[in-house]
Structure 1
Amino acid sequence: MRAGWKQPLHCAALCFASYVVFGVAAVGSAAAETGASPVIGDERAVRQHLDLSDLATMSVEAINAHGRMLFDAKFTTLDGAGRPAATQAEVPVKRRPGRVPALFRTSGPDSNACNGCHNQPASGGAGEFVANVFTSVGVSDAEFDTLEAQFSNERGTPHLHGSGLVELLAREMTAELRALRRDAVDQARASGQSVTVPLVAKGVDFGSLTVQPDGFVNVEQIEGIDHDLIVRPFSQKGVFTSLRQFSINAMNTHHGMQSDERWGMQWTHSADFDEDGHKQELLSGDLTAVVLFQAALPTPVQTMPEHPVLQDAVKEGADLFDQALCSQCHVKALPLKSLTFVEPGPYNAAGNLRASDRSDAVFSFQLSSAGLEQNEKGEWMVPVFSDFKRHVIADAEKSHFGNERLSQRFIPNDQFLTPRLWGVGSTAPYGHRGDVSTLREVIGHHGGQAKEARLAFEKLSDLEQRKIIQYLQSLTLTLATEIQQ
């Protein structure tokens, strides 16, 4: 870990700098930075790549700016966009022979830039219904030219603000759950008796597990999380462990930009697996920069309306939100012990950079505490409005959120990760498909394990219900230029 990275990452200054640099010129010219002669008529969107070794000599702000450039870049074929011989699968899979379109709305590539979808109210934000994507089961090599639900799941675009805090919370929760399992194994071996341990992390109940004296672990009572006890906070099903894994998958699926750390020589024995004539489309340093940009996006905030009547409604709505049992799953704030973001994370699977892969792979930086309060233990209270747990959200009476036909990573079709409501006031439309236009409608569709909360909401008066809506509308995304240090 390089000591030079142990410096505060102030989201305001850092993000504002990247807005200024790339708001004036679409892409910073590598030629200008190095003194080399410019390339006349250069149509590359990415004119400079970063390896991990390059990051050691750069400031956090410069690396973040590079990540912002990659996030906003409209990739061209000169950058390696497209994947004529590879599928959208997250593991390297060859495409069946035959001509395919350069951009393909269903199985992709389907976008030129990350901010083609993540753009409301600014880069790194959410996306409208028109920006929906179509995902297969996750490891399939299927290609499809239809929007029929039996071939894919249609998903809306969530915002990425506060993502660094999200990943840190998930890492700490994972560590707590695994420590509980480890202690149970030790106790069972020492006592010669079965040990059952409740799996509670940051106050969230994930069920329990039982360890036999011989070390066998019964996982049947684990709830809302994978049996490996890794909290996966990204994607609407909760299947991606880290921003790095999410970014590597998205770059390949949506843009045909393939990272060396998954599609390169180490895993495929090819420097150009997708056979588009371009090698080293994304280096590990590029991926670290993209992760840094997303991790540093500002924390969603509460924006109080100007009118006193609406201000009072927001305050009363916060209490009614609890009264209607909404906060049982949409936990208002979770405690975070440390703001130190270490990249790569400790739970990355193969095909994503891990600390053991290279001696210069690990970097550390501080996320901003702007918008966060501390509890009596000195922990940072992160207002995510989620429990990072999957719940059954549909039933026979309320089936809207159970309308997908394909399971993803063997997760039942009626289960979804509790959506993080911070920023919900800025990210209409709603639902995993982005096909619900109002918050009241979303609440009305709650079934399954959320039925009790829906019924509690419905018992409230119309005015009380509208106060909850007003409260949710106050949970907004904030542009980086509006953040105050």
Structure 2
Amino acid sequence: MHPKNSFLILFIAAALLGITAAPRWAQSTHPSDIGREVAVPRHLEDDEEFLLPIRKLIEHGQELFTANWTAQEGAGRPLAKGTGAPLSDQTEPLIFPRNFNRISGPDSNSCAGCHNSPFGIPGGGGDIVANVFVLGQRFDFATFDPRDRVPTKSSVNEMSQNITLQDIADSRATVGMFGSGFIEMLARQMTGELQAIRDRIPPGGSAPLVAKGISFGVLSRRADGAWNTLRVEGIPAVSLVSAGASQPPSLVIRPFHQAGKVVSLREFSNNAFNHHHGIQSTERFGRNTDPDGDGFVNEITRADITAVTIFQATMAVPGRVISNDPAVEAAVLLGEQRFQSIGCARCHVPSLLLDNQGWVFTEPNPDNPAGNLQVNEAPTLSVDLTGDNLPSPRLKPDPSGVVHVPAFTDLKVHDMCDGPDDPNQEPLDMNQPPGSMGFFAGNRKFITRKLWGAANEPPYFHHGQFTTMREAILAHGGEGRTARASFQALNHYDQDCIIEFLKTLRVLPPGTRDLIVDEKGRKKKWPPVHPQTAH
């Protein structure tokens, strides 16, 4: 018998005998809680996640996501970096007045402190004030004081070079998690399709890599069986690593982080709780251990991480708001057509298909890296993402048994910069080993931005320094240069129509039932039966 199942059997047996106890989330205040200042007074015990109704699990996940963590429950990491590694200088712990740092972290009290837009929805995007300094967490406490020469302590990098605000980290916009369960499941299915092709390639052979109709180039093997990824495209470097013929590249699609770094919502959450808040999960840091030296153990449980993962995975999907004004309707319709004809849709693919019940989200993700819950370490938890009991609106299977996910992405990474002097290039490459030459060579590759919900989740581009979608279009370089030139070649009205089309792609107000609505929130049929002629 799987050891994790014993808890469930004991619980069921106790229920039959009428001796069940309320789960911790439902218990009343204990006298020892008087005067205690914590954001989450009750955590889930491991395996409780399988006993709660899905709505209660989501509620607990939202409680964790919106919690303003305090020092009385493990917030802060006095002796640990945001990477989880020990401080470079243990003699200067991250305690007041060094307990928060906007660049190296901890940098926030709550996940929802940054993820809250639009409508104040927990899990949404964020203003540029909420930008995250990705990779800044490899420093203890950023100060830029040139007198401090300890590498990755405060002022010099792994190569003992002075760092500046411009090159210590990659400044990234906070993106929303709307529809993210569908995105993770698309990535899992695409990974499976690519791996199936890989596993059929004999020594000396090659094969085109195609998943969901998206081309990822060609994977080859030499006569000795060694793998050649030189013609593979759109897959992050970390998924192309091979240590020999018997260890093929994983080809894992990584749909989270704007450079395609993170496999799953669970990995994203484990990383973020430690980086941003100093809250260390048991599955990453161990039970009854205190690696960050704050005097607290078991700060967030495996069951808690499952809850916050399910909360994010079941967030409502974005939809469209299209005005009933005939002039606007005509412009939107033409804008959709031009979006296709000038090549935007080659990368911003309007819809990808989930089949074979791929809309049933399961935990854990089979591709989770070490330090995150693995398959067979706990029972599988499943949630039907199309269920009516989840936040609306929802995607539904069509009559052929597939779910169309209209995210406007291909989940590939693309070079989006016009050479090394393009100001959109990032100073660091998070998909290379920290401190390596490749790491410091910078990054020009970004996952195709999901456009669903884009219109009311500004700012734009990976760095969030553009206030309009037009600016973002005109900044497309590298592999996006041709589409940019085609946009610029359009007359002004046609350009405006593309913008008007993009303005319809919105996160809908909470409780909206339909995916396409008019300006008053009423269900709208689109495209119209008798479209207006654009002028």
TM-score (norm. length: structure 2): 0.79
- Corresponding residue for 2:261? 239
Residues 259-282 of structure 1: CA deviation (Å, up to 9, x unaligned) = 1111125xxxx6111010111111
**Distance in 1 between the 2:25 and 2:191 partners?**
44
- Corresponding residue for 2:230? 220
**Displacement of 1:31:** 8.0
Picking from 210, 219, 225, the partner of 2:220 is 210
**Distance in 1 between the 2:271 and 2:76 partners?**
14
Residues 214-266 of structure 1: CA deviation (Å, up to 9, x unaligned) = 4322111111103120000000100000000001101111111111111125x
- Corresponding residue for 1:22? none
SS of the residue aligned with 2:200?
helix
Picking from 160, 179, 182, the partner of 2:196 is 179
SS of the residue aligned with 2:332?
helix
Q: 1:477 to 1:398 in 2, by over 3 A?
A: farther
- Corresponding residue for 2:459? 429
- Corresponding residue for 2:323? 305
**Displacement of 1:141:** 4.9
Picking from 88, 92, 95, the partner of 2:85 is 92
SS of the residue aligned with 2:171?
strand
**Displacement of 1:460:** 0.7
Percent identity, please: 37
Instruction: Tell me if structure 1 keeps the 8 A contact 2:25–2:44.
Output: no
- The residue type paired with residue 249 of structure 1 is N
SS of the residue aligned with 2:210?
strand
1:389 corresponds to 2:412: yes
- Corresponding residue for 2:128? 129
- The residue type paired with residue 99 of structure 2 is A
**Displacement of 1:99:** 4.0
5+ residue gaps, structure 2: 6-21, 145-163, 241-249, 388-392, 433-438, 516-535
- Corresponding residue for 2:449? 419
**Distance in 2 between the 1:30 and 1:469 partners?**
51
Picking from 364, 369, 378, the partner of 1:344 is 364
**Distance in 1 between the 2:212 and 2:24 partners?**
49
Tell me whether 311-320 or 291-300 shows the greater mean CA deviation.
311-320
**Distance in 2 between the 1:275 and 1:211 partners?**
48
Q: What RMSD in Å do the two structures reach over aligned CA positions?
A: 2.3
Q: 1:215 to 1:141 in 2, by over 3 A?
A: farther
**Displacement of 1:53:** 1.3
- The residue type paired with residue 301 of structure 1 is G
**Distance in 1 between the 2:26 and 2:281 partners?**
24
**Distance in 1 between the 2:207 and 2:228 partners?**
11
**Distance in 1 between the 2:411 and 2:278 partners?**
30
Residues 156-181 of structure 1: CA deviation (Å, up to 9, x unaligned) = 10010000000000000000000000
**Distance in 2 between the 1:398 and 1:309 partners?**
41
**Distance in 2 between the 1:346 and 1:396 partners?**
37
TM-score (norm. length: structure 1): 0.87
SS of the residue aligned with 2:220?
strand
Q: 1:53 to 1:376 in 2, by over 3 A?
A: closer
Instruction: Tell me if structure 2 keeps the 8 A contact 1:301–1:477.
Output: yes
- The residue type paired with residue 181 of structure 2 is G
**Distance in 1 between the 2:376 and 2:489 partners?**
55
Instruction: Tell me if structure 2 keeps the 8 A contact 1:236–1:416.
Output: yes
Residues 161-218 of structure 1: CA deviation (Å, up to 9, x unaligned) = 0000000000000000000000113xx4xxxxx2110001001111111124543221
Residues 75-122 of structure 1: CA deviation (Å, up to 9, x unaligned) = 111121100000011x43345221431211110000000010000011
**Distance in 2 between the 1:299 and 1:424 partners?**
12
- The residue type paired with residue 258 of structure 2 is Q
Residues 126-155 of structure 1: CA deviation (Å, up to 9, x unaligned) = 0001111112178x4564235612211111
Instruction: Tell me if structure 1 keeps the 8 A contact 2:417–2:477.
Output: yes
Q: Which has the higher contact order (CA 8 A, sep 6+)?
A: 1
Higher share in helix? 1
- Corresponding residue for 1:15? none
SS of the residue aligned with 1:400?
coil
Picking from 366, 375, 383, the partner of 1:355 is 375
Instruction: Tell me if structure 2 keeps the 8 A contact 1:30–1:47.
Output: no
Q: 1:31 to 1:171 in 2, by over 3 A?
A: closer
Q: 1:92 to 1:357 in 2, by over 3 A?
A: farther
SS of the residue aligned with 1:151?
coil
- Corresponding residue for 2:279? 257
Number of matched residues?
444
Residues 364-402 of structure 1: CA deviation (Å, up to 9, x unaligned) = 110026553656742111011111001110114982321
Tell me whether 167-176 or 337-346 shows the greater mean CA deviation.
337-346
SS of the residue aligned with 2:199?
helix
- Corresponding residue for 1:191? none
Q: 1:371 to 1:465 in 2, by over 3 A?
A: farther
Residues 310-332 of structure 1: CA deviation (Å, up to 9, x unaligned) = 12211211111111211111111
Instruction: Tell me if structure 2 keeps the 8 A contact 1:64–1:290.
Output: yes
Instruction: Tell me if structure 1 keeps the 8 A contact 2:181–2:385.
Output: yes
**Distance in 2 between the 1:141 and 1:354 partners?**
29
- The residue type paired with residue 102 of structure 1 is N
SS of the residue aligned with 1:206?
strand
Q: 1:371 to 1:296 in 2, by over 3 A?
A: closer
- Corresponding residue for 1:119? 116
1:471 corresponds to 2:501: yes
**Distance in 2 between the 1:460 and 1:387 partners?**
25
**Distance in 2 between the 1:445 and 1:32 partners?**
48
